[in-house]
Amino acid sequence: MQLVDTHCHLDLGDYSNDLDEVLTRAKAAGVVRMIVPGISLESSKKAVALSETYGEVFAACGIHPHEADRIGGGDLAELRELAMNSEKTVAIGEIGLDHYKKFSGEENQRKMLEELLQIASELDLPVIMHNREAGNALFDMLKHTGYHLKGVMHCFSGDIDMMQKTLDHGMYISFTGSITFKNAGAARDLARLVRPERLLLETDSPYMTPMPFRGKRNEPAYVKYLLDIYAEVYGLTVEDIARITTHNADELFCLGLEGKAAVTYAIRDSLYINLTNRCTNKCGFCVRQTSDYVKGHKLSSDTEPSSEEIINALGDIGKYKEIVFCGYGEPTLRFGIVKKVASYIKSKGGKVRVTTNGEGNLINGRDITPEMKGLVDRVAVSLNAPDEAAYTELCKPVFGDRAYGSILGFIKGCVDAGIEVEITCLDMIGDERVKGCREIAEKMGASFRMRHLGAEG
């Protein structure tokens, strides 16, 4: 039986003396994954450090609404960079609104949350949400921003109306150990309204300790004490609850529990690296909308490979014309990994191509093209439109109308850095738009290739 504790604050001082023993007890209880959410910039750094030390620990990078009055000007930019460069960050969280304790002003909370939601949207990561007596404001804000983010409303404490809004938004719900208390009948009644397919397990350690340990420090091993309650609520077995909630957690956070897709895959004389499933565009024509496979290779992945996993999977680089960062998502979302692996490939005499939507400068918050010089031989940019309006309509970039100009800037930066650039577009856009894309390529000193819709790889 495998369990996932989707919310445990193992970075706190409560565990400074016995963390190894805590993790040993968790594994003995069947807990195979634990997510440590950050509640400040420093807390997020500690969560990332823990994830790098312990294989079963994953991180979320976030700033709690209590901290909104105290964040500095560069804190959110640093948090974004931390989340991008961490190989085991699976969410943005813990974030949200708290109108109950009001340790920070409501306006500052709102402003900070808006920026954090934007980070989650731009990095295509799920969110771990905190909500205390601020539900209407929270969902008004989500509606206003237009972000359709995946995520979980952790430590749910709202009413039926708030639960319905959470579910309607497509989010998961989790309750803490408090649902095991004798006086928790109302919480259990609410839980009955949640399909088990939308339920996650969490301890919120070191808080919210379940029975029979109420009053003591909580820890991930105690997540198993929620199983009997949920089994009774849903009329299922303990094993059913464990299996369903573990699948839910893996589906939301990509924890690598249900098998991995290809890390590298060969097509013709090139070797491709399947770096991520995440993307900053929502193109309706993308293969991701219709299939998990490209040329017989399963690419839809339950996790993101580490740089070590990628390097180990490369094998004999000399067998291939080039090594291509491509796969199932946008590689510059993991630009730090691209650089690390590309450096290794170049040290072995290999050639490197990056296939991208060209939004890497926006994604990374800086011009990344100088950093590619000497590491990347060729860049293929999927332009797909000759102007901003057509691109925004066709590709639906999370960056909106900022995307197209930045893509052109990225192409110019690559050309200026001496990197060979190929601009591509799909035949489906029509002859005039194809002609426009070809002319852009010629003006910018790039080559041009038209691709056929449905002919992936």
Average pLDDT across each block of 10 residues of the chain; the chain has 457 residues. List them in order.
97 97 98 98 98 97 97 94 95 95 94 96 96 88 80 94 91 96 93 93 97 96 97 92 92 83 87 93 82 77 87 95 91 96 98 98 97 98 96 95 97 98 93 95 96 72
Output the pLDDT for position 396. 94
- Helix/strand/coil (H, E, C) string of the chain? CCEEECCECCCCHHHCCCHHHHHHHHHHCCEEEEEEECCCHHHHHHHHHHHHHCCCEEEEECCCHHHCCCCCCCHHHHHHHHHHHCCCEEEEEEEEEECCCCCCCHHHHHHHHHHHHHHHHHHCCCEEEEEECCHHHHHHHHHHHCCCCCEEECCCCCCHHHHHHHHHCCCEEEECHHHHCCCCHHHHHHHCCCCHHHEEECCCECCCCCCCCCCCCCCHHHHHHHHHHHHHHHCCCHHHHHHHHHHHHHHHHCCCCCCCCCCEEEECCEEEECCCCCCCCCCCCCHHHCCCEECCEECCCCCCCCHHHHHHHHCCHHHCCEEEECCCCCHHHHHHHHHHHHHHHHHCCCCEEEEECCCHHHHHCCCCHHHHCCCCCEEEEECCCCCHHHHHHHHCCCCHHHHHHHHHHHHHHHHHCCCEEEEEEEHHHCHHHHHHHHHHHHHHCCEEEEECCCCCC
Output the pLDDT for position 260. 67
> Domains in the chain, ordered, with CATH?
3-253 (3.20.20.140), 264-451 (3.20.20.70)
Output the pLDDT for position 149. 85
Output the pLDDT for position 455. 61
Output the pLDDT for position 366. 96
Output the pLDDT for position 204. 98
Output the pLDDT for position 135. 78
